[in-house]
Each structure stands twice: as C-alpha cells, then as structure tokens.
Amino acid sequence: MSGLEKTAISWKCSGEKVFLDFPYLQIIERLCLPEKAPADANAHRFYVFKSRDWCNVIPVTEEGNVVLVRQFRAGTLQTSLEFPGGVVESNDADVQATALREMIEETGYEPVAGAKCSLLGVSHPNPALQDNRMHSLIVGPVKKTRSQSLDPAEDIEVIEVPIRDFPRLIAEGEFSHALMLTSLLHLMMKNDGAEARMADGIRRYTGA
C-alpha cells in the first residue's frame, strides 16, 4: 500500500452544541467517538468553527501584474498582503460570481471584454477546526474601472505587483497568508512539468 488508500476509519458524533452564533461563523462543540470504541467509552469533545465557504481570486492585468490588497487583520494585529476574496454569499450564483464581486468591491478592477475566470482548486483551510472550503480562482485580464466599495470594517490598499516579484515577497515573509500561498500552489500545479519539479525539490532537500 502507498498509504494513500482510504482505510476504514469511521467516527460517529452524538451531540452538537452551539456556543456562539455570528452572521458568518458559529463555534460549536461536537461529541465524537470512533465506531470501534468500547460501549462505555467517553466521547471526545471537539470544538469547530462552522462557516460558509470562502474564495479568493488572483487578478492579472493586461501588463502582467497581479492585483493585491493590503489590509489590517485583527488576529495578528498587522496588515496582510493578499489576493482579493471573501465569503460565498447565499445569493451568489456560484464561486466565480463571488470572486468577481469581491474583487470589484475591494479593488475597483473588473475583467475586460473576453477575460477568463478559472477555478484553480479547492482546499480545506483547517480540517481540525473548520468545516468550510476555500475556492481559489484566477481571472484576467482585468483593469481599474471604478472606485472601491468597502464595508465599514474594511480599509484596503490596492497594489499591483509584477509576477516576477512573488518569489522575493514569499522569501522575505511579506506574502505569508497560508490560504494565499495555497492558491499559488494550485496555480503552479496547473503548469506542465510541475509534478516533476516538485519531486526534484523533495529529492534535493531530503536525498530521497
């Protein structure tokens, strides 16, 4: 076996309690046990953030620049350099509609005629604590057409960055948001030869 085959790991959850209920987030407690646990075993308490799905989008201009947003994040008490994105709303037609809406609101950039918007991949932000998914997309070409339309809690600086600058931004820790890095990984894995280059990197660092 390679270790990737699905095995018969099965758990059951017998209770769920909501501790906090916000518009976009619930914090809940789940009582769960492996199905093979003894009948008198005590359930394990797990605490979960329930949320709607999220998305982010990599907007690329006709000049080959990536449109980024810099905004304050209360978790780190610092500003963060990110791709535009946000919560998938119930009235959005699909995640592409969410991505384009968030991009236009946060940056004032819109797709030009004939632009393409593509889904790069879907990931789970943190399966240990969260139940939602992150959808990563790319769109281009885009251009600035209007002013930002920000929520009261948003204070966003819009920046255009040449694609060639990303390795430096990552190496210097300037671009460090894990979900944004995941979107770049999805993008890189779409390119021919990505699997071979990843395998070469693993061998170079491990000797395997």
Query: Which pLDDT does position 18 carry in this prediction?
Result: 93
Asked whether the beta carbons of 46 and 129 are under 8 A apart, the reply is no
- The pLDDT value given to residue 205: 92
Q: How far apart are the first and last CA of the chain?
A: 19
**Using an 8 Å Cβ cutoff, are 94 and 119 in contact?**
no
Closest to 83 in 3D by CA, of 4, 205, 183: 183
Sole residue written with tokens 């982010």:
56
In the chain, the domains with their CATH numbers are: 11-51 (no CATH), 54-191 (3.90.79.10)
Across the chain, mean pLDDT equals 93
Neighbours of 162 (CB within 10 A): 10
Confidence at residue 207, expressed as pLDDT on a 0 to 100 scale:
85
pLDDT digits (tens, 9 = 90+) for 110-146: 999 999 999 999 999 999 999 999 999 999 999 999 9
Please give the average pLDDT of every successive group of 10 residues along the chain, which has 208 residues. 65 88 91 90 93 97 97 95 96 96 98 97 96 97 96 94 94 96 95 91 89
Spatial CA neighbour of 107 closest among 180, 51, 56, 179: 56
Pairing mode of beta strands 25-34, 44-51:
antiparallel
Residues in the chain: 208
Q: DSSP class of residue 130?
A: B
Strands 78-82 and 65-73: antiparallel
Quote the pLDDT of residue 52. 95
> What percent of the chain is predicted at pLDDT more than 70?
96
**How far is it, in rounded angstroms, from Cα 187 to Cα 200?**
18
Angle at 138 between CA 132 and CA 143, to 5 degrees: 125
- pLDDT, one tens digit per residue, over 166-189 is 999 999 999 999 999 999 999 999
Angle at 119 between CA 55 and CA 97, to 5 degrees: 55
The C-alpha atoms of residue 114 and residue 130 are separated, in whole angstroms, by 37
What token pair was written down for 11?
A: 């758990």
Q: Is the dihedral of CA 154, 160, 166, 169 positive or negative?
A: negative
Contact 109, 103 (CB under 8 A): yes
Q: Give the per-residue pLDDT at 3.
A: 60
